Amino acid sequence: MRKSTGKIFVIQFIKSFVFIIIFISIILVIYFAIMNFYGTDETDVIMTILPAKEQTQIHTASIDDISKQLIFCVDDETGDIEKIVLEIFNCEAHRMVYITIPINTQFTLSDSLYRELVLKKPSLPQSLKLSAVTGYFTKESVYEYGVLMIEDMLDMSISYYSVVPQSIYEKVFKTGDLPQNSVSQPDSHRLTGEVFSEGFLEFLHTITTETDLGNHIKKIYDGIESNLSLEGKLNYLESYLKVAGDNISFEIIAGVDSNSGYTVDKPMAIRQIGAYIYE
């Protein structure tokens, strides 16, 4: 006896429904297996598909007694990172050091950070040069990811970062010879790094009051980007004015330079930075 059209429809509907349930179950099993492999929370995946304006800030600025500012010198037009300088300012000791981190530094991301970043950019290699970072992330996020990479490389926390167009940067810094340093340059030839320009040194002599310095910082902030607000930066005014010239030094991050790139000596670099953070 032939089955009625109604019965045939019901049977086919049930088969299709069961197939869909099985298919969805397989997809979910694969999804959770991948998330477990990368050690990633579901909320991280949700964040990668949200519009940029809805994403939370990757790096939050902080005002510290010993501030660690990461300075990115970038091309005025493309935003490509040209130079990187780490400024460590001890507000209590009134001491500042500017440590050059060569842009040709070759480094390897830790497994934990790599698992996090490869979800944002699957083509990102685990080993790369700092000069290549801008090729993997958008201009809106590359500097914050750059901060994460530097923190990972040097095993430290950055207080805040500033993105400075090269045209402004070169009014403050120039590339010059650095004094021999037993920590950052063991048994090596004299190296070059970022130091204050003659014009900026002359300008510093004209700064005598908090008002003078405050106006200068406000003018600088008009042309740069920073995750530290202007109000936050002005918190350092009083301490800045107490820094004597001989309490400002310039170094290069501990490591070895070669034709293939600069390689940071992580244990020595941590010791070098620690000398200013824990003095």
Q: pLDDT band for position 278 (50/70/90)?
A: confident
177 and 192 Cβ atoms separated by less than 8 Å: yes
> What pLDDT score was predicted for residue 54?
38
> Residue 171 and residue 135: Cα distance in Å, rounded?
27
Cα–Cα distance, 277 to 158 (Å, whole number): 12
* One-letter amino acid for residue 231 of the chain: E
Task: Please name the residues in contact with 279: beta carbons below 8 A apart, sequence gap of 6 or more.
Answer: 90, 93, 95
Give the whole-angstrom CA distance, residue 255 versus residue 268.
8
Say whether pLDDT at 241 is over 50. Answer: yes
pLDDT in tens, 176-228: 999 765 455 554 455 899 999 999 999 999 999 999 999 999 999 999 999 99
User: How would you classify the pairing of strands 81-90 and 127-129?
Assistant: unpaired
Residue 276's pLDDT band (cuts 50, 70, 90) = very high
Does the pLDDT at position 91 exceed 70? Answer: yes
37/39 Cα distance (integer angstroms): 6
Spatial CB neighbours of 25, under 8 Å, sequence gap ≥ 6: none
Q: What is the pLDDT of residues 40-65, one digit of tens each?
A: 444 444 334 344 443 457 889 999 99
**Quick one: which of 62, 56, 85 has its CA closest to 73?**
85
